[in-house]
């Protein structure tokens, strides 16, 4: 039968998509330069030139079969070797290629991670504010996503609520640090406390609880901010990574899943991912993309621009009296709206061609997200407009 | 809990993979040139130079954001337009971009097609001999694959068996023409008869029955062989395509799903695919790959080599007295083994460094598959060896 489940999903509207469409339509009207579009997390800085150079060299020097022939379903061995070595060197871990599974970016990595360690009826906890796509990513597997309310005083973890929500059905906890949408980076203290609590609960319940770490923003950390590596805090952990943000390659859909070598069944997980792929129709990333990525593993785009933008915006928001947590990384910030209904706040901002995203879908109502992966020049032009919007609307 | 289902799947061994590993190990011993490896369907002819040229031009002329930025989850609009126009021109159809969903090759297209038109408990029929990956592709969705026994006298469809197996739970029929492993192309008469039967059963059961057409070998058709376009025979049809074989790009994982514009809910299916993607972690193919493919839609690699190879092998098999159906396309052939146990036959061939695949996993025991996507020169060298193997073993 034609699937009613997926047909029903068509009626759900994405606020972010609607806003992006408004921005695009308005851009056609008044020029896109005049629309201050803070809606989408599409990296604005170019990919490092070395990436295109690596691609061109591969195309000019490798034979068609070497370059375009079937690659192993777990990823190309030499690429997995290099990813493991890079992680070990940077984070003092002990990965081998056997712990690295190449994926079509973070969404695919999460699709495999969830299926590795949960089944229908199991619960997965995550923390507000959270990336709303986690809902379909998890709930369509038959497991159930439950959201621990936000700790709004700094957007670390609300441990009191977490303890209340932990129960025997919880098989995994999903975290995202540096965080979309808050821009906050979990501290070592937060990660240590989380690891201790999960370790205790594993003993109490007599089963594994996995920590799934969604970390596409791992490289985008601002000056002076501590950036602990999640998997070094807890053995039963799986990292899900994407090169979309650090290398400005979101359209190229490449990333990986890294299994902590110290976790239960560590050496089985990557082969199990190969089995999961057969059921969900995953094909490992394009071979040429894997080979090119292997040449740029340890570099990033010029991500310093995001920090410049953040400081401009954060300072302006503070001077306008906003209640806002200073981001430690990413290209997001999540200030409190100036009225309870964040959607109403964002609708009013639209009249000033300011595209802001209300936080309701992030599980933390009353705030708004700004994605400041846009030109610094445009950020600067937007600030007086933002000021005018606030003064004319709320003073 | 760590998934027992996927852990259990690790113990299943793939005969094809084992043979390929044997070939690789033996190649290291005696030189790969001396191993007659007919095990893998990895295209041997190079991709058309225009593909690499298109990639390089994109890398040299497009901005990073145009080239590598987020692309829409359904695929890039201009690419979908071009795919639709190409299909319309070649097959006299009425596709628009709204019917084209870009996928990470055929496995992903099938993953979406199955979820579009079936749910847990539904049955999908396919015809032996069949690509054994259909088992996990379908059974892991909760639907059940049932295999209609082969019509061994020509490898068209066994309609008598099909009629017996059709029942109200059958929501889709999956075909693969030109066929892996037989190399046979379904005739217009076969497709017409199938369409008539399914139309009658739709009325009888009062629900849609979809025809899912897996057609990665669509372009590889030999001289004088009729090659009907499946979807032109039956309204409720979905084509699953991959550029892996026609353009020799299996590692680059790009293809599409094309919804027959005349089918039930035709305009909903592609948006529904976008919803399905969220649950299975599918990301549309790499943007640069989509843009490059759009430049080479109507060309192919030099696939004439496969016909040269086929004729050499077919003629030798006939002269050695094999019972074999002449392939109409692909780069496969499926002769009857010279003893009942095809695995034993293939094991004996290994002593001559001939790597043949027994047909048991294709649902049609007693045959063996040869994938002749190898150099013609090697095919020629293999024939006297094949002859010696047969004469010394079976005469």
Contact B270, B284 (CB under 8 A): no
Rounded Cα–Cα distance for residues B188 and B248 (Å)? 27
Q: B171 — contact with chain A (CB < 8 Å)?
A: yes
Of B2, B110, B254, the CB nearest to A208: B2
At A251, list the tokens: 């359209």
Q: What was the pLDDT predicted at A350?
A: 95
Q: Least CA distance to A124: which residue of chain B? A: B1
pLDDT mean over B224-228:
95
Of B9, B71, B171, the CB nearest to A275: B9
Q: B6 — contact with chain A (CB < 8 Å)?
A: yes
Strand A255-259 to strand A237-242: parallel, antiparallel, or no bridges (unpaired)?
Answer: antiparallel
What does the radius of gyration of chain B's CA atoms come to, in whole angstroms? 21
Please indicate whether, in this complex, the C-beta atoms of B280 and A280 are within 8 angstroms of each other.
Answer: yes
Please indicate whether, in this complex, the C-beta atoms of B281 and A110 are within 8 angstroms of each other.
Answer: yes
What does the radius of gyration of chain A's CA atoms come to, in whole angstroms? 21
Q: Which of A133, A117, A271 is nearest to A198 (CA)?
A: A117
Q: B42 — contact with chain A (CB < 8 Å)?
A: yes
Listed in sequence order, the residues at least 6 apart from A322 whose beta carbon sits closer than 8 Å to its beta carbon are A335, A336, A338
Q: Least CA distance to A140: which residue of chain B? A: B279
Nearest chain B CA: its distance from A390 CA (Å): 32
Rounded Cα–Cα distance for residues B395 and B393 (Å)? 6
Q: Which residue ranges in chain A fall short of pLDDT 50?
A: none
Angle (CA) A22-A28-A34 rounded to 5° is: 80
Rounded Cα–Cα distance for residues A320 and A386 (Å)? 9
E strands present in chain A: 36-37, 100-103, 123-127, 144-148, 170-175, 210-214, 237-242, 255-259, 332-333, 354-355, 357-358, 368-371
B window 179-218, beta carbon within 8 A of A? 207-208
A window 309-368, beta carbon within 8 A of B? none
Of A42, A70, A275, the CB nearest to B251: A70
Rounded Cα–Cα distance for residues B327 and B325 (Å)? 6
pLDDT of B285 above 80: yes
What residues of chain B lie within 8 A of the CB of A115, using their CB?
3, 6
Q: A98 — contact with chain B (CB < 8 Å)?
A: no
Please indicate whether, in this complex, the C-beta atoms of A282 and B281 are within 8 angstroms of each other.
Answer: yes
pLDDT of B314 above 80: yes
Give the Å distances, CA to CA, from A375 to A27, A303, A317, A352, A379. 16, 12, 18, 18, 6
Please indicate whether, in this complex, the C-beta atoms of A282 and B133 are within 8 angstroms of each other.
Answer: no
Please indicate whether, in this complex, the C-beta atoms of A171 and B56 are within 8 angstroms of each other.
Answer: no
Q: Least CA distance to B66: which residue of chain A? A: A251
Q: B111 — contact with chain A (CB < 8 Å)?
A: yes
Q: What was the pLDDT predicted at A70?
A: 87
Q: What was the pLDDT predicted at B17?
A: 76
Q: What was the pLDDT predicted at B156?
A: 98
Of A46, A118, A122, the CB nearest to B65: A46
Q: A248 — contact with chain B (CB < 8 Å)?
A: yes
Contact B365, B132 (CB under 8 A): no
Own/partner pairs for B342-351, CB < 8 Å, 24+ apart?
A: B342/B366, B342/B367, B342/B368, B343/B15, B346/B19, B348/B389, B348/B393, B349/B389, B350/B22, B351/B389
Please indicate whether, in this complex, the C-beta atoms of A252 and B133 are within 8 angstroms of each other.
Answer: no
Q: A104 — contact with chain B (CB < 8 Å)?
A: yes
Q: Could you read off the pLDDT of B348-366 as tens digits, one per residue?
A: 999 999 999 999 999 999 9
Please indicate whether, in this complex, the C-beta atoms of B251 and A141 are within 8 angstroms of each other.
Answer: no
Nearest chain B CA: its distance from A63 CA (Å): 8
Model ipTM value: 0.95
Q: A99 — contact with chain B (CB < 8 Å)?
A: no
Q: B11 — contact with chain A (CB < 8 Å)?
A: no
What residues of chain A lie within 8 A of the CB of B9, using their CB?
272, 275
Place of tokens 């009857």: B336
Q: Least CA distance to B75: which residue of chain A? A: A251
Q: Could you read off the pLDDT of B96-135 as tens digits, one per residue?
A: 999 999 999 999 999 999 999 999 999 999 999 999 999 9
Q: Least CA distance to B269: which residue of chain A? A: A7
What residues of chain A lie within 8 A of the CB of B103, using their CB?
281
Q: What was the pLDDT predicted at B161?
A: 98
Q: Best mutation site among A63, A64, A255 for testing chain B: the one with the most B CBs within 10 Å?
A: A64
What residues of chain A lie within 8 A of the CB of B70, using their CB?
40, 42, 250-251
Please indicate whether, in this complex, the C-beta atoms of A278 and B10 are within 8 angstroms of each other.
Answer: no
Please indicate whether, in this complex, the C-beta atoms of A7 and B265 are within 8 angstroms of each other.
Answer: yes
Please indicate whether, in this complex, the C-beta atoms of A110 and B136 are within 8 angstroms of each other.
Answer: no
Q: What was the pLDDT predicted at B395?
A: 87
Q: In this predicted model, which residue has the larger pLDDT, A70 or B83? A: B83
Rounded Cα–Cα distance for residues B217 and A312 (Å)? 56
Please indicate whether, in this complex, the C-beta atoms of A104 and B282 are within 8 angstroms of each other.
Answer: yes
pLDDT band at B283 (very low <50, low <70, confident <90, very high): confident
Cβ pairs A/B, distance under 8 A: 227
Q: A111 — contact with chain B (CB < 8 Å)?
A: yes
Q: In this predicted model, which residue has the larger pLDDT, B17 or B328? A: B328
Q: Could you read off the pLDDT of B147-205 as tens digits, one per residue?
A: 999 999 999 999 999 999 999 999 999 999 999 999 999 999 999 999 999 999 999 99
Rounded Cα–Cα distance for residues A390 and B350 (Å)? 78
Q: B250 — contact with chain A (CB < 8 Å)?
A: yes
What residues of chain A lie within 8 A of the CB of B289, using their CB?
286, 289
Q: Least CA distance to B206: which residue of chain A? A: A1
What residues of chain B lie within 8 A of the CB of A141, using their CB?
279
Q: What was the pLDDT predicted at A233?
A: 98
H helical segments located in A286-335: 287-293, 304-319
Rounded Cα–Cα distance for residues A1 and B143 (Å)? 11
Contact A64, B42 (CB under 8 A): no
pLDDT of B18 above 90: no
Please indicate whether, in this complex, the C-beta atoms of B281 and A253 are within 8 angstroms of each other.
Answer: no
At A276, list the tokens: 């999961």
């Amino acid at each position: 039968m034609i699937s009613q489940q997926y047909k029903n999903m068509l009626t759900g509207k994405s606020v972010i998509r609607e806003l992006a469409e408004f921005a695009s339509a308005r851009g056609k009207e008044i020029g896109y330069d005049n629309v201050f579009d803070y809606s989408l997390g599409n990296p604005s800085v170019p990919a490092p030139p070395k990436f295109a150079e690596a691609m061109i060299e591969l195309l000019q020097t490798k034979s068609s079969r070497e370059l375009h022939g079937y690659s192993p379903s777990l990823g190309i061995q030499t690429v997995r070797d290099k990813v493991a070595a890079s992680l070990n060197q940077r984070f003092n871990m002990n990965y081998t290629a056997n712990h690295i599974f190449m994926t079509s970016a973070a969404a695919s990595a999460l699709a495999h991670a969830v299926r590795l360690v949960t089944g229908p009826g199991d619960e997965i906890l995550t923390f507000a504010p959270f990336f709303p796509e986690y809902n379909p990513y998890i709930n369509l597997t038959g497991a159930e996503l439950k959201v621990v309310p936000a700790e709004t005083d700094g957007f670390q973890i609300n441990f009191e609520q977490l303890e209340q929500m932990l129960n025997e059905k919880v098989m995994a906890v999903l975290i995202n640090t540096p965080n979309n949408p808050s821009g906050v980076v979990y501290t070592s203290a937060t990660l240590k406390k989380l690891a201790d609590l999960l370790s205790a609960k594993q003993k109490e319940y007599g089963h594994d609880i996995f920590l799934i770490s969604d970390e596409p923003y791992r490289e985008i950390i601002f000056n002076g901010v501590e950036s602990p590596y999640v998997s070094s805090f807890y053995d039963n952990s799986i990292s899900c990574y994407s090169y979309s943000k650090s290398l400005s390659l979101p359209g190229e859909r490449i990333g990986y899943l890294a299994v902590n070598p110290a976790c239960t069944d560590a050496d089985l997980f990557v082969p199990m991912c190969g089995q999961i792929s057969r059921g969900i129709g995953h094909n490992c990333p394009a071979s040429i993309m894997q080979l090119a990525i292997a040449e740029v593993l340890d570099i990033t785009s010029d991500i310093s621009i995001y920090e410049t933008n953040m400081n401009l915006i954060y300072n302006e928001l503070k001077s306008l009296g906003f209640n806002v947590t200073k981001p430690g990384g990413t290209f997001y910030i999540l200030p409190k709206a100036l009225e309870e209904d964040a959607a109403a706040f964002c609708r009013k901002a639209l009249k000033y061609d300011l595209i802001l995203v209300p936080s309701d879908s992030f599980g933390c109502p009353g705030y708004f997200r700004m994605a400041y992966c846009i030109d610094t020049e445009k950020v600067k032009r937007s600030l007086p407009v933002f000021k005018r919007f606030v003064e004319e609307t709320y003073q």
